[in-house]
Amino acid sequence: MDWKGYTVIYVVLFAFATAQAVVEFAGLVDSAYWAAFALIMVLSVIKAVGVAAYYQHLRWEPRAVTYLVLGGTVAALALTGAAAYSIL
Amino acid sequence: MSQEHEHGLPPKSSVSRWFLTTNHKDIGVLYLITALFFLVFGGVLALLFRLELISSGADLLGSMGYNQAVSTHGLLMVFWFISPFAFGFANYIVPLQIGADDLAFPRLNALSYWLYLFSGILMGVSFFQGTTFAGGWTMYAPLNTPAYIPGEGLGATSVVLALIMFTAAVTLGSVNFLTTMYRMRAEGLRMRDIPIFSLSINLTVWMMLFAFAALLAALMILASDHILGTTYFQYSIDGTTMATDADNPGASLLWAHLFWFFGHPEVYIVFFPALGVMAECFQTFTGRRLVGRKWFIISMVLVALQSFVVWMHHMFLTGINLPIKTIFMATTIGISLPFDLMVFSLIYTMAKGRVRFTTPFLFSLGALILFIIGGITGVFLGAIVLDYQFRGTYWVVAHFHYVMVAGATALFGGLYYWYPKITGKMYNETLGKIQFGVYFLGFNLLYFPMFIAWETPRRVFVYPDGLQIWHSMATAGGFILGASFLIMFYNLFMSLWRGEDVGPNPWEYATSAEWAVSSPPPLENFPGVPSYATGKLEFLDDETVTERTERAPGAAAHGHAATDGGTATDGGAVTARAAATATAMEPAHETAGEEHASHASFWPFLVSLGGFIAFLGLSGVRTGSVFYLSLAAVGGVATFGSLVGMTREPFHAPEMAIAERWPFERVEKMKLGMWTFLASDIVLFGAFIGSYAFVRVAYGWTAWHHDLIPAEHVTMPGLINTYLLLTSSFLVVLAMVAAERESKRGTVAALVGTFALGVGFLINKGLEWQHLFHISTEAFPNGWGLSTNIASSTFYLTTGLHGAHVTIGLIICAYMTIRAWNGAYQGDDRAIEYFGLYWHFVDIVWLFLFPLFYIL
Ligand code: HEM
Ligand SMILES: [Cu+2]
């Protein structure tokens, strides 16, 4: 990927970060908390995937590297999810 | 390959050799000896409290003495003895079995060892800081926090820090072993074909990589509660019930979750290497290949995966809900199934082969029998209703000693099995068998009565009168078990002189590659490059290798390097690339074809020594004592200086010319090492974020923001920092592009920009924190500091950990900027790419911290 591609990614990341703050400034967090929560987290996930796929070049690496990363992520999510569920 | 034999290392008879070595076999020996030392340490403690338990009551050690002995016995055995003992073999044997000349990162390997040793010394020192940790090896909250520890509690803090140091060693080791096993297998050696011991180690390190990251999170949080005054594991109750009136209702369950998320995989981390040894010994001494080998391997993989989803069977008596208990009962019973398969496979192998009852076989068979008893009693515990009875009793104690010490039993078998390989001498077989007899008798006399006296509460020195006879038997058994080791030490020590010399293979049917070379093997392991391409082990000479790498363009594309010490291959682009790569993060004078680079390094020792001093200092800084403060400062400077020294030291460990690398063919070793490390870092941060989510859920997710966080905590500083980090990530990518295009100015400019933005990030954060520390509002008259409440604790610690990552990144960035200024990286951007992997990861973490801590 050349610098132009990287720049496009950068602009998108910047815009999404701004969008997250806008959700808050617009008062959505107060009026519809869980909708805002979902929206903001989805934006974060998209940003993270973007950084990993393009800036960290996971797109061009063997899939095994992605699985390695997913392994860690799934472990962390399992811990968080099951632990939180256990006290609901 | 055999010109320069000793790689700049002094001979083994010289003491300095052992401080300088980075060779996997030397380090393996160091691990074995050190681990045995900790076995004796932990064992003596156990004998002490077994003496105490001859009669009910704490009349010998006193109550605090008893609690300390029990707790540190557990910690020493689980952490400092059993896994390091297994990793002594792993270090020595795995490279030999897979056809590598060393681990992928020899100096990191030495660093792992020294961190391990010094962590153990720190553990020892803790005994002299008043009292050491006395809250049980599981370190349940809140008894693990200073407020609940009698006295100053500095010894307890040292134990926590020692565990952190140990965990650092384990993480480095996991990265190292994984990289080695995926990048350095002999040609033709598929993953599924590697000898079963190495395979068991492979799965062990996978579990370690993730499980120890969770433990690290737990320990860092605990250390922060001790040293910085956060309040994750503490609570006060101003009403009537914990659930509704505590200021941090998640406190003690949080520890249990974090600890057992690590702890259950840990029990398999302990057991898997033992399983590997058992399988090797069963094969060798029955003269048969493992029956159902494929299924054995599939079972191991299944267990390794499942081990991460059974942890709550340690929490059946806590306040977690019934549905989740039921799920975890099911997964627990599920995990015993693959184990059954493995047990049957071993039994059939024995039944079908012709058994020769040597000492290693006896220990392996003994281990199997003990494991079966331990496993069956474990299934009892996995049933919720039964566990309601058994929890916290000697049933549990008996169960886990039957399984854990079964593992140790197999490892002692491994010690006999590989003793001739490591020393070149044969041990005395008769004494070996006698030891086994005494050991097996002592073991069962020690632990079996505990099943009968199961009603004894564990970790308590009083028990009902009627049970005394069983406890006396157990104590007698303990001393018999201990005595059996005297026989072993005598045997192994004397055999160093009196033992018969052995050739490459003293065991008739041993087939794995370590038996194909002399005992002990030469420094570089093999007389050529090992290859299984023809179906059996061969050693290729340099010419063949050169020819092959030149002929196969594929090999060049993969960046294969010239082998170590031999005639350099064509020296062209391939070699240069590989050489630069091998040291991308430890840049120094790497020139292609630099032969016989020294493999001696004093830095790993110094880094660890510095770390030890720093941690010892940290254990006491909360007292404000000048002594501890200066230790912390001196240690910190020493660690940092040694790390810089280590980075600048020329050290050359090129990749193998020809190797089997599925599934990471195109990921050269620095990159794979970095990714593996990042995977564990994901779990570390994941566990931090998970902890935050957990205590917030426990408190009440939405009430949290309103109750605990001041209005002054606004979004803006977080947003600005998001912009700063995103931009800096972008600049790192540009630095890479510039280096690729050989624009020195561009590279330097982009790196300087990255650095500046990172510094801006930290300054902005510092200002924000200062502001929050000193607010004075109605709700928070004394500011919003680390100890104010659980929300402030999670905020400062989680973003603080992230800030520490940024700081480390900035140090590396500064170093690279200077190198770029001096002309490095032009046309070869890989070092920048690897730094970028880390930096982008830090960026990604922030992408989640920002919304979680600033918006939601
Ligand atoms: C084979 C199937 C196994 C099952 C179903 C099983 C089940 C259990 C359960 C349910 C407990 C919790 C008991 C309680 O605290 O109330 C437990 C404790 C324990 N198990 Fe196992 N286990 C098995 C194998 C193993 C193995 C292989 C090891 C280690 C090599 C092991 C080591 C331990 C340890 C150390 C504890 C005690 C933890 C503590 O200090 O509280 N178990 N086991
Ligand atoms: Cu368990």
Using one digit for the tens of pLDDT, what is the confidence trace for B475-511?
999 999 999 999 999 999 999 999 999 999 999 999 9
Domain match, A6 and A44 both: yes
Asked whether B559 lines ligand 1 (CB < 6 A), one says no
The answer to whether position B726 is within a domain reads: yes
Assess whether the previous peptide bond of B520 is cis (omega < 30° from 0). Answer: yes
Q: What is residue B566's predicted lDDT score, i.e. its pLDDT? A: 28
Contact state of A69 with B690 under an 8 Å Cβ cutoff:
no
Contact state of A33 with B702 under an 8 Å Cβ cutoff:
yes
Do B93 and B197 meet the contact criterion of CB atoms below 8 Å apart?
yes
Domain match, A50 and A71 both: no
Instruction: Give B238-297 as a DSSP string.
Output: SSS-HHHHBS-TTHHHHHHHHHHHHHHHHHHHHHHHHHHHHHHHHHHHHTSPPTTHHHHH
Asked whether B338 lines ligand 1 (CB < 6 A), one says no
- Whole-angstrom Cα distance, residue B450 to residue A62? 52
Q: Is B841 on the interface with A (CB under 8 A)?
A: yes
Closest CA to B481 of B393, B391, B366: B366
Ligand 1 atom closest to Cα of residue B339: 1
Report the first-to-last Cα separation within chain A, whole angstroms: 46
Phi, psi values for residue B838, rounded to 5°: -65, -50
Going by C-beta distance under 8 Å and a sequence separation of 6 or more, which residues neighbour residue B354? B286, B287
**Any long-range contacts for B48-52 (C-beta under 8 Å, 24+ apart)?**
B49/B73, B49/B461, B50/B446, B50/B474, B50/B475, B50/B478, B50/B479, B51/B475, B52/B461
Contact state of B847 with A61 under an 8 Å Cβ cutoff:
no
Domain match, A71 and A52 both: no
Asked whether B271 lines ligand 1 (CB < 6 A), one says yes
Closest CA to B205 of B140, B132, B161, B265: B265
Encoding tokens for residue B239? 């009403």
Domain containing A13 equals 1-56
For β-strands B529-531 and B538-540, DSSP reports them as: antiparallel
Q: Provide the ipTM.
A: 0.98
Residue numbers in A near B836 (CB within 8 A): 55-56
The answer to whether position B672 is within a domain reads: yes
The answer to whether position B808 is within a domain reads: yes
Q: What angle is formed at CA B434 by the lines to CA B432 and CA B435, rounded to 5 degrees?
A: 65
Which CATH number do you get for residue B646? 1.20.120.80
Domain match, A19 and A44 both: yes
Distance (Å) from CA B79 to ligand 1 centroid: 16
A74 vs chain B: nearest CA distance in angstroms? 9
Looking at the 3D structure of chain A, how many domains does it have? 2
**Of residues A17, A63, A88, nearest to B722 (C-beta):** A17
Residue numbers in B near A55 (CB within 8 A): 729-730, 732-733, 836, 840, 843
Contact state of B856 with A40 under an 8 Å Cβ cutoff:
yes
Domain match, A6 and A46 both: yes
Domain containing B772 equals 559-587+607-855
The answer to whether position B30 is within a domain reads: no
Distance (Å) from CA B404 to ligand 1 centroid: 9
Q: What is residue B671's predicted lDDT score, i.e. its pLDDT? A: 97
Closest alpha carbon within chain B to A81: B690
The answer to whether position B688 is within a domain reads: yes
Ligand 1 pocket test, candidate residues B79, B267, B306, most atoms within 8 A of CB: B267
Q: What is residue B598's predicted lDDT score, i.e. its pLDDT? A: 86
DSSP tag of B531 = E
Q: What is residue B406's predicted lDDT score, i.e. its pLDDT? A: 98
Q: Is B608 on the interface with A (CB under 8 A)?
A: no
Residue numbers in B near A14 (CB within 8 A): 723, 726-727
The answer to whether position B582 is within a domain reads: yes
The answer to whether position B689 is within a domain reads: yes
Query: CA-based diameter of chain B, in Å?
Result: 83
Contact state of B733 with A55 under an 8 Å Cβ cutoff:
yes
- Whole-angstrom Cα distance, residue B508 to residue B515? 10
Encoding tokens for residue B294? 């494929």
Interface subset of B 656-715, CB within 8 angstroms of A: 663-667, 672, 675-676, 678-683, 685-687, 689-690, 693-694, 697-698, 702, 715
Domain match, A78 and A38 both: no
Interface subset of B 155-214, CB within 8 angstroms of A: 210, 213-214
Q: Which residue has the tokens 């092959």?
A: B548
Do B473 and B452 meet the contact criterion of CB atoms below 8 Å apart?
no
- Whole-angstrom Cα distance, residue B821 to residue B746? 10
Q: What is residue B578's predicted lDDT score, i.e. its pLDDT? A: 38
Domain match, A8 and A43 both: yes
**What 3-state DSSP class applies to B141?**
coil
What percentage of residues in chain A have a pLDDT greater than 70? 100
Domain match, A51 and A74 both: no
- Residue owning the nearest CA to atom 39 of ligand 1: B138
The Cβ-side half-sphere exposure at A21, using a 13 Å CA radius, reads 17
Domain match, A15 and A41 both: yes
The answer to whether position B737 is within a domain reads: yes
Q: What is residue B552's predicted lDDT score, i.e. its pLDDT? A: 58
Q: What is residue B245's predicted lDDT score, i.e. its pLDDT? A: 63
Looking at the 3D structure of chain B, how many domains does it have? 1
- Residue owning the nearest CA to atom 40 of ligand 1: B138
Q: Mean pLDDT by 10-residue block, N- to C-terminus, for chain B (856 residues)?
A: 64 94 97 98 98 93 96 98 98 97 97 98 97 96 92 96 98 98 96 97 98 98 97 81 72 96 98 98 96 97 97 96 97 94 97 96 98 95 96 97 98 98 98 98 98 96 95 97 98 97 95 95 94 92 86 44 30 35 38 60 98 98 96 98 95 90 94 98 98 96 94 94 97 96 95 98 97 95 94 98 98 96 93 97 98 95
**Which ligand is nearest to the Cα of residue B310, counting in written order?**
2
Domain match, A68 and A36 both: no
Interface subset of B 254-313, CB within 8 angstroms of A: 254, 257-258, 261, 308-309, 312
Q: How many other β-carbons are positioned within 10 Å of the β-carbon of residue B417?
A: 28
Query: CA-based diameter of chain A, in Å?
Result: 49
**Which ligand is nearest to the Cα of residue B387, counting in written order?**
1
Q: How many other β-carbons are positioned within 10 Å of the β-carbon of residue B40?
A: 14
- Whole-angstrom Cα distance, residue B584 to residue B816? 11
**Of residues B675, B727, B847, nearest to A44 (C-beta):** B847
Q: Which helix (H) or strand (E) holds B335?
A: helix B322-352
